[in-house]
Structure 1
Amino acid sequence: MHMKEFCNGIKLGEAASGIVMDYHMQESEYAELKRQFQQERHAFFQLVTGAAGYRQKLLYLFVRFAMDAYEEYQVRGISDDVYFNTFSDIRIWSEVCCRDFGEYGIEEYNWLQEHVRLRLFRLGRMQFQPIAMEGDVKAGDVIVENKQLVLNVHIPEGGALSPQEVAHSFSLARAFFRGITPVFICQSWLLYPGLDHIMKSDSNILQFQRLFHIYEVDEAAKEAEQRIFNRVAADPSEYGEDTSLQHAAKAYLLAGGKLGRGSGIYVPID
């Protein structure tokens, strides 16, 4: 896997690709940083983020880590489509970094470590991560036991969350993780019950939400505001209203409403 091929494969933009292609690092330094990442991850992140220009350095390093993971993808017989789709998160988070900090790089380094450690895969529209359930959970008729292996669902930014795309993604996950009972859990602002106050009943998000049995709600979470407004403000009156969703969400918050996070379980019916 060559760097240019990888950047093209994840559709990394010209500016971000230029940072990666032009970055100079001795192979001995890279080997040592990779060793630290694999064996002393906390110390690795402390070391890298403690220096100027760390976001660009992390972009370069995660591209290299992802390229190194390609061989293991091939050994496991995982397609190039899944490989590039999974690591397209590097492009997404480099664009978020540019939006939030005015420079292409990586700030969400804790999240991206799951990808390069082959603990998370993007299959269609959504990402899936095998995890052991923490504690017994009952939601509706569904019971999930402590330490039971389940598939954690994440929804990356970009693209419609249409019922067709969602169904296709779940189908791909069931085939990809054949050895895991198809029990899906999700912790997201998309599952917050209060969204029905700001969205139409036939919206893609609410249709996605209805698949899940909600078992926990966090009223204090600010994830919804971060995703809707791209920031969190102490005073909702400071939020912009560039989209219909922002307009509805701002009005709802100003009226005393909450936009938290929900946790839910989905078990497909065969």
Structure 2
Amino acid sequence: MNNTFLFDTGLTDHHLALIKDRYNQVKELPLHRVLVEKSIVLLEEQDNKALFLLFDQGFKELGPLYPLVLMYAVYPSIVALYTHLGISDAVRQATLSDTGLWVKTYENQHRGLTGLDRYGWICRDLCAKVLRLGRLEFEQDPFRFPYSIYYDRQLMRYRAFAQDSLVCTDGGYIGNSSGSVTGAGSWSTTCSSDDTLLFAHEVDQGLGIISRTPIEIPLADLTNICTKDTLVLSVHIPEGEPLTPSLVDASFSLAQAMYSPTLFVCDSWLLDPELSLVLPPESNICHFMQRFKKFPVSFSTPQIYERVFGFGATQSDIEAWECTTSLQKKVQAHILGGGIFRTMGGYIPAPVGT
């Protein structure tokens, strides 16, 4: 099991020695035994939310290394689940390699101390709710954004409309994660329909903003593709390899073959159209961003801050940052010049390319 655990997770022999040492310290504890027994049951049920609570309890009561200890203790059950679901060893290894990335992040943030605090995400990997297929990760779940997406048969294109009562900024973005909007000129969306017409605010899917003026559209022209809670395939972008168009194309093809989704959906700093003002159009990031039809999403802090500069970075931190990469320098210069970055949502109709 040791070799499989290391190969799958991307951890090192040093990590394994730490984990086994801690395991020997806790293996007779009643709490550890209960957490292991319950985790095995929840893995069989693929209940990542309940599994998270167990990992969280272990982290809080037995320390930051314990989530890795618990993962090690139940690893045969993790492998058995993937096998039962017919998921290949290669996909399992690619998916669970997230563990090594997050352990490295923890070590960088805690002066070399080994631990894992992103177990909420890792539990989705352990339960095979998220799978890495090539460069990207995919997760089948309900559409959770306040929009309805249609295919307009007359115009032969996809269109997105905001749901009712969204509070928007003057520029057509929606409020932060608590729903509040600051600044003058805020307004709210309206959305209604009868037997023949839809009356709603359309989303500019190039800029990712909501039009302030609602319009009427004949329902007879529209095919409903997606509303809240429609099952879609969420796209996640792990750190690591470049987002080259060929790698991204290959990932979408693998996901299409495995899941046959209606829509691919993503929310990320990588979808922000503002990136086109700081990066060349032929860059991998711009190529990726331009694949998606965009819509605004709620957020507290732009995701680009943590992903480009580090977790916890604020705008004031970034303005004084000693930049070490070209992307940091470009983002910093844009912010100092008054530019605003946002986390952005978007979708791609499936199959990709249609």
Aligned with 1:69 (options 75, 78, 81)? 78
Structure 1 vs Structure 2 CA RMSD:
2.3
From the superposition, tell whether residues 203 and 218 of structure 1 become closer, same or farther in structure 2 (CA, over 3 Å). Answer: farther
| Aligned residue-pair number | 266
Contact 2:294 2:347 in 1 (8 A): yes
**TM-score of the superposed pair, with normalisation by structure 2:** 0.69
**TM-score of the superposed pair, with normalisation by structure 1:** 0.89
Contact 2:55 2:70 in 1 (8 A): no
Contact 1:198 1:248 in 2 (8 A): yes
2:138 partner letter: F
1:59-117 C-alpha deviation (Å, 9 max, x unpaired): 22234444421112112221100011110000110011111122221111111111112
Alpha-carbon distance in structure 2 between the residues aligned to 1:63 and 1:174: 32
**Superposed counterparts of 1:11-90, under 5 Å:** 11-23=10-22, 24=24, 25-26=26-27, 29-37=31-39, 38=42, 40-41=50-51, 43-51=53-61, 54-90=63-99
**Superposed counterparts of 1:163-242, under 5 Å:** 163-177=245-259, 180-218=260-298, 220-231=300-311, 232-235=313-316, 236-242=318-324
Contact 1:194 1:259 in 2 (8 A): yes
1:12-51 C-alpha deviation (Å, 9 max, x unpaired): 1233232223332326654411345538556535532323
Alpha-carbon distance in structure 1 between the residues aligned to 2:72 and 2:302: 30
From the superposition, tell whether residues 95 and 36 of structure 1 become closer, same or farther in structure 2 (CA, over 3 Å). Answer: same
Which residue of structure 2 aligns with residue 161 of structure 1?
Answer: 243
Alpha-carbon distance in structure 1 between the residues aligned to 2:268 and 2:18: 32
From the superposition, tell whether residues 65 and 208 of structure 1 become closer, same or farther in structure 2 (CA, over 3 Å). Answer: farther
How far the C-alpha of 1:128 sits from its partner, in A, is 0.3
Contact 1:153 1:184 in 2 (8 A): yes
Alpha-carbon distance in structure 1 between the residues aligned to 2:332 and 2:121: 28
From the superposition, tell whether residues 219 and 74 of structure 1 become closer, same or farther in structure 2 (CA, over 3 Å). Answer: closer
Alpha-carbon distance in structure 1 between the residues aligned to 2:7 and 2:51: 28
1:138 aligns to 2:222 (yes or no): no
From the superposition, tell whether residues 221 and 260 of structure 1 become closer, same or farther in structure 2 (CA, over 3 Å). Answer: farther
1:205-257 C-alpha deviation (Å, 9 max, x unpaired): 11011111001245753310111111313412232210111111111111222
Contact 1:137 1:215 in 2 (8 A): no
Structure 2 unaligned spans of 5+: 151-156, 160-224
Aligned with 1:127 (options 137, 145, 148)? 137
1:12 partner letter: L
Q: Judging by fraction of residues, say which structure has more helix.
A: 1
Alpha-carbon distance in structure 2 between the residues aligned to 1:128 and 1:9: 18
From the superposition, tell whether residues 137 and 240 of structure 1 become closer, same or farther in structure 2 (CA, over 3 Å). Answer: farther
1:8 aligns to 2:16 (yes or no): no
2:125 partner letter: H
Contact 1:191 1:263 in 2 (8 A): yes
Contact 2:266 2:345 in 1 (8 A): yes
Contact 2:59 2:65 in 1 (8 A): no
From the superposition, tell whether residues 64 and 238 of structure 1 become closer, same or farther in structure 2 (CA, over 3 Å). Answer: farther
Alpha-carbon distance in structure 1 between the residues aligned to 2:52 and 2:17: 28
2:27 partner letter: Q
Alpha-carbon distance in structure 2 between the residues aligned to 1:70 and 1:36: 17
Alpha-carbon distance in structure 2 between the residues aligned to 1:150 and 1:185: 7
